[in-house]
Amino acid sequence: MNTRKFLSMLAIAGLFAYSCSDDDDNPTVVNEEEVITTMTVTLTAGTDVVTLTSRDLDGPDGPNAPVITVSGPLTANTTYTGEVSLLNETETPAENVNEEIEEEADEHQFFYDVASTLNATTAYTDTEADYPPNMGTNPVGITFSLVTTDASTGSLTVTLRHEPKKPNDGTLADAGGDTDIAQSFDLTIQ
Amino acid sequence: MLVSILGTLVSKAQDCTMSLSGKVIDFHDGVPLKDATITFNDQTIVTDKDGSYSISNLCAVSYAFTISHANCNSQVVTIDLKEVSKKDFYLEHHLDELQEVEVSGKKRSKTSSSQEETISKDIIQKYSSAALGDALKEITGVSSLNTGSTIVKPIIQGLSGSRVLIMNNGVRMQDMEWGDEHAPNVDINTAGNVTVVKGAAALRYGGDAIGGVIVMEPNKVPAKDTLTGKTVVTGASNGRGTAVTSEIIKGYKSGWFLKAQGTLKRFGDVEAPDYVLSNTGIFERGGSLSFGNNKFIQGWDVYYSYYQNEIGVLAASHIGNADDLIESINSGQPLVIRDFTYSIDNPKQDVTHHLGRVRYFKRFEKLGKWTTQYDFQHNQRFEFDIRQTAELRKIPSLDLELTTHTITSDFVLDGKFDYNLDFGILVRYQDNFADPSTRARRLIPDYEKYDAGLFVTGKYNFNDNLIIDAGIRYDYNQIDAKKFYIKTRWEERGYDEEFNDIIIADEGTQWLTNPKFEYHSVSATTGFNYMFGESYELRGNYALAQRAPNPSELFSDGLHHSASRIELGDLRIEQETSHKISFSLQKSDENFGWEIAPYANFINDYILLEPTDVELSIRGAFPVWEYRQTNARLLGIDANLNKKWLPNWKTNHSFSLVKGKDTENDIPLINIPAANLSNRIIFEKKDWKDLVISLESEYTFRQNEVPDNIMVFSPQEQEDVLLEINTPPSDYHLFHMNADITVPFIKQNELNIGVTINNITNNKYRNYLNRQRYFADEVGRNFLLRLTFNY
């Protein structure tokens, strides 16, 4: 024990010397890898393309709120195919985060919540099995459909949950899990 | 004390006309000792009132004299009468400092004039399987800030964290006490007793203890040939786990000692009355070893302790954003309830603390004692979160390594009866390293910190009844950090207007900055202790204390994943200054005793962390907790009473109340403990195997004085909603029971059997001072069985 003590004391002395000598070394910067800065939801019906974007370049750590843009109104009584694309734009070139979600499709799910004032409905058009090697039959929601009826206004909230209960009844309350994305878009159907 | 004769054969043939005379003197203060005994062969001589002795008819050979005095260590001195005829013997009168067995009945306190209380080994044993903070709640005026049931930070008279200093075996703990969810990295089983000084009056430990000081001291090793040990095994029904702690002590008359101790605790998920609190298990391992030699006038010892704790954090407390928080508050039920398990999953903490100490002391005749020590601490904290990929989940999202070296030296002048003085100095170097391999932004930056301190404290015995004490301390702190700020945050904080000169590199979206701050702090205290009547004691104390901000208060910045909140420090934060006045009037009597202890603490520039707003991000809205400074006032009272009603029946009652106010804004302070009242009825019967049974009622009032809730924008609701983040839970009333008996066990050893039932009625309740009160109820009924073997 005495020898070990002595050795550890030596090590401590060494630490002193070390910590004094590395004064000028700067720590390396950490850019968070799990950050999603940008979500783009593309709604397509033939040549009618509406994009919903939320861009939060300073991430959840930064003070700035995401910039939300909706490219235009939706057309009444139309069926849109929807697709979500996720990016991390803090990196150059921007990292495509969809790949990570697809890899762990069984642990993720998007939820589309249409406000009661907006005359539209959504439905999933994919399952986990669409993203091999996943084999499940539960929806993921990277692709979906949105069907509009009469002209109206209201919000569409897109939520990405990590490790939700699967299968679930399609509500956030039942699904649980952690929220990776939660964004609302004010839409107009005309 | 012990009388042994190492006799020397006396030859009859010799002429035995020699004599020896002199005095027996207290080494310490030079006072002659009356009634000291000098023993040789089969004779015993007693000193007179001047401490003098005289022995005649001695032969001209060597004699071994054993010199003894009540409360002193005996000494054996060999004298050759051919050469010596006059000899003064010196005895050490301050046994406790020589690590002798405790002087029974004598209450040793850390200060003379401030409020303090000690818990002894019975209570430590009772809480052997729990945390230090749980045991300290037995002390009136001490409560705790919890994260679940296993992360317990002590609160002393309303203040916690960096305002409460923990002395572990003479070493000030440097274990990242700045975080609300960072519990002290100590094993309660390493302590023989724990004293809480309520306030900053114990200046020798530090000048910044605005809340108070917790002094954990080990059991003393008697300077005699002895081998003792103790093992405590505790089993608990709630958490379905066991804690085992064992220690073995070997002492030698020569002053050598060796002590080894180890603890192992393993608990699974604890359960609330209605559900399992998923992912709340712990796995704690600890060990300590000390050895040394404490001789009469000098001594040294080496102490090393190791502590590791893996702590599960309630699964339901990991939430995504403010909407999840609102959902959780409204549902009244944890969002994640799984089956019981022992395994600890993310989110979790894994903390390790190494503490090493080398100490040396030397006594100077009629002057005092000089002690110098070096201590080394290494604290490693990992926090694992639920992250996006399985690969990332294996990497901690927080990885901090805090290394501290401290040298302290002090000289106690206690050579005079009527006063003593203690001078001391301290130098400390600390290095914090935040590992970037976490791939998450650092919450606490890399920093180097230098501390230096100087103090003088003194005590003057005015007369037999009145003691006056006073002290002053100066501390210098310098912190030199390398901190990254997101550029938008830098501007949002307004740092671009004041601190642009500390930017040292541009890292794309972030600035690398080099904040360097210096603080000069002065603390001082004075007070009195007046004893009167049969058993009355009045204490009064004023303490001025200054505390420099901790790294969290200065540098916190960003999303705290495990708490789902954005915590923002402020580079502009300055020291806080506390003025505390406290009194205590006490009657110590086993049959009817009481204590009443009011206090007022005025803190200028009090640093506090409270929810202020939400910030929107792509992940939703997060509550923002910001540090700010204000003037605060804490007014409180601690009271207790004990009465013996019948020979075997007694009751204990205690009450504590503290009110905290932000006097600048006239609003209540956050996280102030609610008033609480404890009543205990105790039945004791020595004849029945030392049976002690107690039933306790613990009533905690509702904390009605809290800051206002905040209105936040909910993206989910598309409108402002009330975030009930400050709403306090209801009052609660719990019953606990404890029973102990002691039976003989193999030869002359003893076995103590204890049974404890906590929360007998399995009450459902939430605690205002639990950070997880938004997510789940507190722990339900718990049966504990405790076996203590003394050998």
Q: What DSSP state is assigned to residue B487?
A: H
Backbone conformation region of residue B605, classed left if phi is above 0, alpha if psi is from -120 to 50, else beta? left
Residue A14: its H or E element: helix A2-21
Chain A residues touching B440 at Cβ < 8 A = 30, 32, 34
Find the closest chain A residue to B304 by CA distance: A5
Q: What is the predicted pLDDT for the residue at B68?
A: 81
Q: What is the predicted pLDDT for the residue at B12?
A: 44
Question: How much is the pTM?
Answer: 0.86
* Half-sphere CA count of B199, side-chain side, radius 13 A: 34
pLDDT for residue B272 is more than 50: yes
- How would you classify the pairing of strands B37-40 and B62-68? antiparallel
Find the closest chain A residue to B431 by CA distance: A19
Q: Could you give the 3-state DSSP secondary structure of residue B121?
A: helix
pLDDT for residue A6 is more than 80: no
pLDDT in tens, B468-492: 999 999 999 999 999 999 999 999 9
pLDDT in tens, A58-96: 888 889 989 999 999 999 999 999 999 999 887 788 889
Chain B residues touching A98 at Cβ < 8 A = none
Question: Inter-chain contact B716–A37, Cβ cutoff 8 Å?
Answer: no
Find the closest chain B residue to A161 by CA distance: B320
Whether omega for the bond prior to residue A93 falls within 30 degrees of 0, making it cis, is yes
Spacing of C-alpha B220 from chain mean position: 18
Question: What ipTM, to 2 d.p.?
Answer: 0.81
Q: What is the predicted pLDDT for the residue at B325?
A: 81
Question: Inter-chain contact A1–B387, Cβ cutoff 8 Å?
Answer: no
Rounded to the nearest integer, the mean pLDDT of chain B is 89
B104 pLDDT band, cuts 50/70/90, is very low
Give the span between the Cα atoms of A183 and A186, in whole angstroms.
10
- Rounded mean pLDDT of B770-791? 94
Greater confidence (B573 vs B534) lies with B573
State whether residue A100 sits within 8 Å of chain B by CB.
yes
Q: What is the predicted pLDDT for the residue at B111?
A: 83
Backbone conformation region of residue B138, classed left if phi is above 0, alpha if psi is from -120 to 50, else beta? alpha
Q: What is the predicted pLDDT for the residue at B215?
A: 95
State whether residue A27 sits within 8 Å of chain B by CB.
yes
- Rounded mean pLDDT of B679-692? 94
Q: What is the predicted pLDDT for the residue at A18?
A: 47
Spacing of C-alpha A177 from chain mean position: 13
- Rounded mean pLDDT of B577-594? 94
Distance between A62 CA and the closest CA of chain B, angstroms: 6
Q: What is the predicted pLDDT for the residue at B5?
A: 34
pLDDT for residue B414 is more than 90: no
Distance between B461 CA and the closest CA of chain A, angstroms: 42
Find the closest chain A residue to B433 by CA distance: A27
Question: Inter-chain contact B488–A162, Cβ cutoff 8 Å?
Answer: no
pLDDT for residue A19 is more than 80: no
Give the start-to-end residue ranges of the domains of chain A: 37-189
Of B654, B662, B523, whose CA–CA distance to B593 is shortest? B654
Q: Which two tokens stand for residue B773?
A: 């009160």
- Rounded mean pLDDT of B768-782? 94
% of chain B residues with pLDDT over 70 = 95
State whether residue A10 sits within 8 Å of chain B by CB.
no
Q: What is the predicted pLDDT for the residue at B93?
A: 58
Chain B residues touching A36 at Cβ < 8 A = 618-619
Indicate the residue of A34, A54, A159 with minimum beta-carbon distance to B387: A34
pLDDT in tens, B352-403: 999 999 999 998 888 889 999 999 999 999 999 887 777 888 999 899 999 9
| In the block, residue with structure tokens 């939060």 | A56
Q: What is the predicted pLDDT for the residue at B86?
A: 82
B91 pLDDT band, cuts 50/70/90, is confident
Tell me the residues of chain A between 143 and 182 that have a Cβ less than 8 Å away from chain B.
Answer: 155, 157, 159, 161-163, 172-173, 176-182
pLDDT for residue B6 is more than 60: no
